[in-house]
Amino acid sequence: MSTSTSPVQVHRHGTVAVITIDHPPVNALSQAVRQGLLAAVRKLDADSSVTALVITGVEGRFIAGADIREMNQPPGEPLLPDVVAAIDACTKPLIAAIGGPALGAGLEIALACDARLGGPAAQLGLTEIRLGLIPGAGGTQRLPRLVGVARAVSLIGEGRVLKAPEAHDLGLLDEVVTGDLLVAALERAPHVAKRRVSELPVPRGDAAAEALAFSRARKAAKSVPAIEAAIRVISAAHEGDFASGLAQERAAFLALRGSSEARALRHLFFAEREAGKVPGMAEAVARHVAMVAVIGAGTMGAGIAVALADAGLPVMLVERDDTAASAGLSRVRDLYERQVKSGRISEADVAERLGRILPTSDWSCLAAADLIVEAAFEDMAVKADIFRRLDAVAKSGAVLATNTSYLDLDAIAAATCRPQDVVGLHFFAPAHVMKLLEVVRGRATAPEVIATALTLARRAGKQPVVAGNCDGFIGNRIYAAYRRHAEYLVEDGAAPDAVDAALEAYGFAMGIFTVSDMSGLDIAFAMRKRRAATRDSRERYVAIPDRLCELQRLGRKTNAGWYAYDAAGRKSVDPLVTQLIAAARAEKGIVPRTFTALEIQNRLLAVMANEGAKALAEGVALRASDIDVVFVNGYGFPRTKGGPMWAADQMGLPRVLAEMKAAQEAGGSGSEPAPLLVELARTGRSFADWH
């Protein structure tokens, strides 16, 4: 317990014993930590010379949660509920001194203590919902006793993480300490009385507030079974005694732990951490970035400027003339004002962040930038011209990034004399909101430039995924195949709203045709026209979306696309579109057939996984899990399904291959089963196994 190799250390300060957890990097509650913590609490409780205990982490960090790696293994003794029960049963006062994250199991440990002190950097939350679980060691029973049922449902159901001031306001922290946290804990220890949260009554809250909290949680529970379980066991907190509620909580936790949703979410937990690791780059050092510039102040450029300013970086927003630069700043201000109206930030925050953004038409200012992001129109000639001009003004060693969605990164880099400094930074709209950032590596991109891009992504709170250079990179390449086959389904007999309904039933927030209307049909139309000369004549081509664009049905922006939209933005099936689809079928002599929701789901999942297999084999994607991270964070693929490659593995690759053979019959050239898919299906392996 007190040896230097133990992750749990005990030191005496007079009659107060301090239990310190030292288990890098985040003090996760591994089996060794649980063993050490349980042994320490029991031994100190039996020591008559000890009057109080303090539980903390090295440098005040506390405990960031359970060790997720152990969840895929048989549970090891002692279980977390045993440790929490021992803390709860301890006859001496315990203080949790929380200097950093106390999340999930870490907060359950803290809730079993008699008092909780937090430093300014403390973060508290029961975040198990993010892994498809509920708290399993008393969190659903203790939290309502401190904050009430309505708040507990909201906090647990949303997996919210509270900063120290809000946690104090809600009663989770007894005090926020601005000085030395351990010194403060030692000073308060002699005066802390036993106050077991488990023995507190559940406060009777406002019935209307509770009903609203339950209603909101149930809406979110549509594709997250853990939320419904959380509602049930939190309700048990004031409908029965503590022990009964604890038993119900544990049973629900164990049932959820083995669920498909929880396994998928654990897969994503590790996949998102793995995505930023690039083989062969261990020695690469990121370049220093103190000043950034964004060229192009349209919708995307404005969003990128906001994302970078939010990260604390000064941003030059560069446009062709002063009028365009001023309009760009207005777009930035509008984005911030929407956040003020929604309550996410204050007017003071807006003033501070706007102060970091300098609109300008003076390209000579770019000489001060360490990183420049081009966010101009998606046209090769436009982008190449910008990069040629950057050669004359950007300083040596500046990172030159393009926000292209489809174009050849190497062709863009060839316009400069420094292709080693060029990288793709593919932000997703809206750029200040969407978490995904595709970092595209060109043929000549230097390792330290990739390292710089990854560092910038993390600073901006983005989820980076490194992609190789090809048409559409990882995300848009696979999405193009997905959209193409959705259009085949429509031409073969499925109504657009039936395809969307099937995808939404699968877990997507919006179906693909609704998304197309929201994004604008003209974007894909321009891409198709650009590729027309090189398109394989053997590939099936659906002209329906082209005809919609020719009728100026460009989506929500024109109140008409695949659907019609009223003045309030509500969509409806448009008979004109139904007639247009029927005419397109008649031209090709297609007799429409019906598709079940499951047939639609299986076909489109197989298409995504198949194109992903091609990207893997070509080295465009480093790992199958990277593709899952891209689609979950950038394209609305349901997290509880784990991403298209994970979902294909769960479906079974022989079934996916059979579905792709049917897809090939529907789509012709370009829809062939990927050789990698064929190989894995034949050998009984999965995408997760492939390296």
Residue 410 sits in a domain of what CATH number?
3.40.50.720
Give yes or no for residue 689 having a pLDDT over 70: yes
CB atoms within 10 A of CB 122: 30
Pairing of strands 357-360, 175-176: unpaired
Note whether 409 and 481 are same-domain residues. Answer: no
Beta-bridge partners for 16:
13, 52
Note whether 154 and 99 are same-domain residues. Answer: yes
Note whether 221 and 363 are same-domain residues. Answer: no
Note whether 360 and 447 are same-domain residues. Answer: yes
Instruction: Please say which residue of 415, 444, 472 terminates a domain.
Output: 472
pTM above 0.75?
yes
d(CA 138, CA 511): 39
Rg (the chain; Cα; Å): 28
At CA 177, angle to CA 173 and CA 183, rounded to 5?
A: 115
Residue 60 within a domain: yes
Containing structural domain, residue 225: 8-258
Omega prior to 25 cis, within 30 of 0: yes
pLDDT value at residue 212: 79
Residue 80 within a domain: yes
Note whether 202 and 309 are same-domain residues. Answer: no
Note whether 81 and 64 are same-domain residues. Answer: yes
Note whether 105 and 137 are same-domain residues. Answer: yes
Instruction: Work out how many domains the chain is built from and give that number.
Output: 3
Residue 271 within a domain: no
pLDDT value at residue 61: 86
d(CA 7, CA 30): 9
Residue 107 within a domain: yes
Q: Give the pLDDT band of residue 1 (cuts 50, 70, 90).
A: very low
Question: Annotated active-site positions, please?
Answer: 108, 128
Residue 154 within a domain: yes
| Lowest mean per-residue pLDDT among 72-76, 379-383, 432-436, 513-517 | 72-76
pLDDT in tens, 589-631: 999 999 999 999 999 999 999 999 999 999 999 999 999 999 9
pLDDT value at residue 78: 96
Instruction: Please say which residue of 258, 277, 304 terminates a domain.
Output: 258
DSSP-derived secondary structure letter, 577? H
Q: Give the pLDDT band of residue 3 (cuts 50, 70, 90).
A: very low
Note whether 600 and 685 are same-domain residues. Answer: yes
Q: Average pLDDT of 444-449?
A: 97
Instruction: Please say which residue of 437, 452, 472 terminates a domain.
Output: 472
C-alpha closest to that of 37 among 55, 25, 24, 50: 55
Note whether 434 and 572 are same-domain residues. Answer: no
Note whether 442 and 492 are same-domain residues. Answer: no
Pairing of strands 315-318, 292-295: parallel
Report residue 93 as tokens.
């006062």
Residue 435 within a domain: yes
Contact between 41 and 95 under an 8 Å Cβ cutoff? The reply is no
At CA 557, angle to CA 560 and CA 380, rounded to 5?
A: 115
User: What CATH number has the domain bearing residue 554?
Assistant: 1.10.1040.50
Q: Average pLDDT of 451-473?
A: 96
pLDDT value at residue 5: 76
Note whether 452 and 498 are same-domain residues. Answer: no
d(CA 577, CA 600): 20
Give yes or no for residue 69 having a pLDDT over 90: no
pLDDT value at residue 221: 65
Residue 287 within a domain: no
Q: Average pLDDT of 266-277?
A: 94
Residue 544 within a domain: yes
Note whether 516 and 379 are same-domain residues. Answer: no
